[in-house]
Structure 1
Amino acid sequence: MNTGKVWLVGAGPGDAGLFTRKGYEVLQQADVVVYDSLVGDGVLAMIPENARKINAGKRSSHHTMPQWKMNELLLEEAQKGNRVVRLKGGDPFLFGRGGEELELLAEHQIPFEVVPGITSPLAVPAYNGIPVTHRDYTSSLHIITGHKREGQAYDINFRALVETEGTLVFLMGVASLPDICRGLTDAGMDPQMPAAVLQKGTTAGQKRIVATVSTLQEEVERQGVETPAIIVVGKVCALADTFAWYEKLPLAGCKVLVTRPKELVSSMSHRLRVMGAEVLEIPAVETRPIRDNRSLENALGHLQEYSWIVLTSPTGVKVFFECLLESGKDIRSLASARFAVIGEGTAKALRERGIRPDLMPSVYDGDHLGAELAKKIKEENPDGTEKILLPRAEKGNRSLAEQLREAGAQVDDIPTYQTIYRKQDVVDVKREFEEGRIFCAAFTSSSIVRAFVQANEGLDFTKVRAACIGKQTKATADSFGMQTEMAEKATMDDLAELILRMWNASGRL
């Protein structure tokens, strides 16, 4: 029998940047992913499209699947020969019941591995300026489950905890906060001991309430708190304001949806994360080369005839050079041609292949590219004998080719790749927008806007703030009723700066 394997993978506390490299690598090879509700949206969005996804739920008292059934599910899927990833918030062995899930696997000799995750008792205080140990304050840390069965008293030795004089971190205990604080003070803890409740740490929903053991419940009732949240008790909580750093980042508290082609790593996401945003990165489209493309094959066979090759997207660059290599040629075949590109992103993709662009318009859009290249053609060759190759998306803007033809050029306008819209089925993007948790969406092309609309049918798009890279992208977003703003220049840096201006103007700091 072809027996599969199970990986218990810790997804970390929420911030996708805190998901470990090994966890990501294992996740990308999964046939089946069984995930919890505490896994951050950014990590959920990394689950491969072709993996079967099973929601195990499990938040506080709300369980989608009982533990015994979970154990049997992992066993059954592995016995079918699948690579099974059990994706758990935080670390699988810290109150994650990972040991219970391994018992049945070990009994049936199913191979397994454990991939530890960054755990919230360390990461969440760190994001709130609270070092859980500090030589001047405490030398020990104690992590306690704050969850108790309904109607039963705590099975916690509060006196022993107090006598450690260490930092105490209670997980899953917000609902029982009065009992925890009372248990500590009754056991002899100083009522003025600093304490904190930390909400949704490492995400855009992060919030910190710092008080004392005797006043924390009152402050939580006054300010309000949402789960998941942890409770930290100890002298180190007094350092929170001094060591706070996350909320000082310019986009702290801002959650941004970044949509992108499946094949491309988003530099936009990196820019936003550096500024403190929580980025939900959703692959919205997949690009596929057009197969049996006779027009392109013919063009590649006569490359020496073209004086210009015009490229209008990084994907267009990628597909063109892949097709060039597949045809048995390489960049030496392009020696007679000059290259025009629509903007800096396309120029970068071209430079990565060893070629510098000869023309890039002053404004990064198709109209300016067409106008400036047409002007150059007329100046350099008024007889109109230029021959231009324009490989583009199947549904790309055709006005560029018309502008060049009006300038007297012969244009081979050839679609080279298709855009396939993709819909992910793990993160409920529609609900995130409707409930106001996503501040805005960043759009880098019209096709990405259309993919977003198609994937979120039924969403009231007037609730969507759209940060758009250029006027064509903005026009498409406008047509769906979105609240649109446009970057000053069609670059990733300018788009990131636009989102920062939008965030500052919103007053949601």
Structure 2
Amino acid sequence: MSFAGKKVLVIRPKALPQLGSDEFIEQLAATGANPLHLPVMRIDPFVVPLTAESASEPVEQIKTTVMALANYQVVIFFSRPAALLGADWIDHYWPQLPVGLQFFAVGDSTRQVLAEQGVDAQVPSHTQTSEGLLALPELQHLQDTKILICKGERGREFLADQLQQRGAQVDELNLYRRSPTNKHQEDIVRALQNGLNAVVAHSAELLESLLSQVPTVLHGDLFALPLVVPSERIADIATGKGFVNLQVANSAVPGDMVSALSRCYISD
């Protein structure tokens, strides 16, 4: 179907400037849709400090973990920001990577960021999700394997839990913080009042933040809109909140999310 002129609310954070444009927004616009990118959260990165005096507690924890990188056998990057920031931290303290490390990325866009930083990572070939990563042969038998997951604060614990059940010792390296922002609250409310055609939410945390910014009187209008999410887990959470018209993508990969949106019946 044609998306020409259809207004689609996208609420995920804007990409870090170093990562360039948002591929999902670009693919959505290419369909003829009108993406309204109004983030309800922002990304606050933890970067290598310029001086020791400028280091915060999270930064000191990152430094300690990265300096111990040789103690791990597997490093997993959960997102593009984690790949960008993690590669920078590793390069700062490890001009030459420790021998024997295996690197993995949840999705191909994350793998590409790592490749640009000189890190070769494996990625699931089909289902680019935590579940797809867990299906890889290399991550089946992990007794006494030390794994480091590079991610954002308060990210999903499912991957770490599953790896631990397989015998791995798992540590998490939080490289950025996702913080709620109401910078676009008035624009979101105005868009709902003027007529939206769909909403795209890449995480349950984003849905929570969106609902906190939309007046209760408009929740009914919001719940009736087609909602595109990247997993059944998030769909279940959305249903519990009150959404009734859901499309579940095969993954959070931009093409999969756009394909899921195409399955929606969208009308003004």
Q: TM-score, normalised by structure 2?
A: 0.81
Matched, 1:292 2:57: yes
User: 2:105 is matched with which residue?
Assistant: 341
In the TM superposition, what is the alpha-carbon distance from 1:444 to its structure 2 partner? 2.1
Provide the C-alpha distance between the structure 1 equivalents of 2:135 and 2:114, rounded to a whole number of angstroms: 19
More helix by share: 2
- Cα 1:489–1:418, aligned 2, differ >3 Å: closer, same or farther? closer
8 Å Cα contact 2:111/2:122 also seen in 1: no
User: 2:181 is matched with which residue?
Assistant: 422
User: 1:360 is matched with which residue?
Assistant: 124
8 Å Cα contact 2:153/2:174 also seen in 1: yes
- Cα 1:377–1:489, aligned 2, differ >3 Å: closer, same or farther? closer
Q: Counterpart of 1:283 in 2: which secondary structure?
A: coil
In the TM superposition, what is the alpha-carbon distance from 1:498 to its structure 2 partner? 1.9
Which of 71, 74, 90 in structure 2 is aligned with 1:305? 71
Q: Counterpart of 1:363 in 2: which secondary structure?
A: coil
Q: Counterpart of 2:255 in 1: which secondary structure?
A: helix
Structure 1 residues 357-385: Cα deviation after superposition (integer angstroms, max 9, x where no partner): 2242642322442x325x53455x6xx23
8 Å Cα contact 1:285/1:419 also seen in 2: yes
- Cα 1:318–1:488, aligned 2, differ >3 Å: closer, same or farther? same
User: 1:481 is matched with which residue?
Assistant: 242
User: 1:387 is matched with which residue?
Assistant: 146
Provide the C-alpha distance between the structure 2 equivalents of 1:347 and 1:499, rounded to a whole number of angstroms: 25
- Cα 1:317–1:501, aligned 2, differ >3 Å: closer, same or farther? same
Which of 135, 138, 150 in structure 2 is aligned with 1:372? 135
Structure 1 residues 228-277: Cα deviation after superposition (integer angstroms, max 9, x where no partner): xxxxxxxxxxxxxxxxxxxxx92113111122213343212211222211
1:305 partner letter: N
Provide the C-alpha distance between the structure 2 equivalents of 1:276 and 1:421, rounded to a whole number of angstroms: 30
1:269 partner letter: I
- Cα 1:311–1:286, aligned 2, differ >3 Å: closer, same or farther? same
8 Å Cα contact 2:185/2:214 also seen in 1: no
In the TM superposition, what is the alpha-carbon distance from 1:389 to its structure 2 partner? 0.8
In the TM superposition, what is the alpha-carbon distance from 1:425 to its structure 2 partner? 4.5
In the TM superposition, what is the alpha-carbon distance from 1:282 to its structure 2 partner? 1.4
Matched, 1:494 2:251: no
Provide the C-alpha distance between the structure 1 equivalents of 2:152 and 2:8, rounded to a whole number of angstroms: 27
Q: Counterpart of 2:182 in 1: which secondary structure?
A: coil
Q: Which runs of 5+ in 1 are unaligned?
A: 1-248
In the TM superposition, what is the alpha-carbon distance from 1:403 to its structure 2 partner? 1.5
Provide the C-alpha distance between the structure 1 equivalents of 2:162 and 2:181, rounded to a whole number of angstroms: 33
In the TM superposition, what is the alpha-carbon distance from 1:442 to its structure 2 partner? 1.5
Provide the C-alpha distance between the structure 2 equivalents of 1:428 and 1:403, rounded to a whole number of angstroms: 40
User: 2:199 is matched with which residue?
Assistant: 441
Q: TM-score, normalised by structure 1?
A: 0.45
Provide the C-alpha distance between the structure 1 equivalents of 2:4 and 2:123, rounded to a whole number of angstroms: 38
Mapping 1:67-466, distance limit 5 Å: 250-264=2-16, 265-289=21-45, 291-293=56-58, 294-325=60-91, 328-330=92-94, 332-360=96-124, 362-369=126-133, 371-372=134-135, 376-379=138-141, 384-425=143-184, 427-435=186-194, 437-458=195-216, 459-460=218-219, 461-466=222-227
Number of residues of Structure 1 aligned to a counterpart in Structure 2: 250
In the TM superposition, what is the alpha-carbon distance from 1:334 to its structure 2 partner? 4.9
8 Å Cα contact 1:434/1:463 also seen in 2: no
Q: Counterpart of 1:478 in 2: which secondary structure?
A: helix
- Cα 1:454–1:258, aligned 2, differ >3 Å: closer, same or farther? same
In the TM superposition, what is the alpha-carbon distance from 1:466 to its structure 2 partner? 1.0
The structure number with the bigger radius of gyration is 1
- Cα 1:345–1:507, aligned 2, differ >3 Å: closer, same or farther? same
- Cα 1:359–1:506, aligned 2, differ >3 Å: closer, same or farther? closer
In the TM superposition, what is the alpha-carbon distance from 1:480 to its structure 2 partner? 2.0
Structure 1 residues 361-415: Cα deviation after superposition (integer angstroms, max 9, x where no partner): 642322442x325x53455x6xx23211112222112232122122122211233
Q: Counterpart of 1:260 in 2: which secondary structure?
A: coil
Q: Counterpart of 1:317 in 2: which secondary structure?
A: helix
Structure 1 residues 127-183: Cα deviation after superposition (integer angstroms, max 9, x where no partner): xxxxxxxxxxxxxxxxxxxxxxxxxxxxxxxxxxxxxxxxxxxxxxxxxxxxxxxxx
Q: Counterpart of 1:288 in 2: which secondary structure?
A: strand
- Cα 1:287–1:507, aligned 2, differ >3 Å: closer, same or farther? closer
2:252 partner letter: A
1:281 partner letter: H
Provide the C-alpha distance between the structure 1 equivalents of 2:236 and 2:135, rounded to a whole number of angstroms: 22
Q: Which runs of 4+ in 1 moved over 4 A?
A: none
- Cα 1:500–1:334, aligned 2, differ >3 Å: closer, same or farther? farther
Provide the C-alpha distance between the structure 1 equivalents of 2:185 and 2:22, rounded to a whole number of angstroms: 20
Q: Which runs of 5+ in 2 are unaligned?
A: 47-55
Mapping 1:15-94, distance limit 5 Å: none
Provide the C-alpha distance between the structure 2 equivalents of 1:297 and 1:366, rounded to a whole number of angstroms: 26
8 Å Cα contact 1:449/1:473 also seen in 2: no
Larger deviation, residues 289-298 vs 272-281? 289-298
CA RMSD of aligned residues (A): 2.6
Matched, 1:468 2:229: yes
Provide the C-alpha distance between the structure 2 equivalents of 1:329 and 1:462, rounded to a whole number of angstroms: 48
User: 1:34 is matched with which residue?
Assistant: none
- Cα 1:315–1:453, aligned 2, differ >3 Å: closer, same or farther? farther
8 Å Cα contact 1:262/1:284 also seen in 2: no
Provide the C-alpha distance between the structure 1 equivalents of 2:174 and 2:235, rounded to a whole number of angstroms: 23
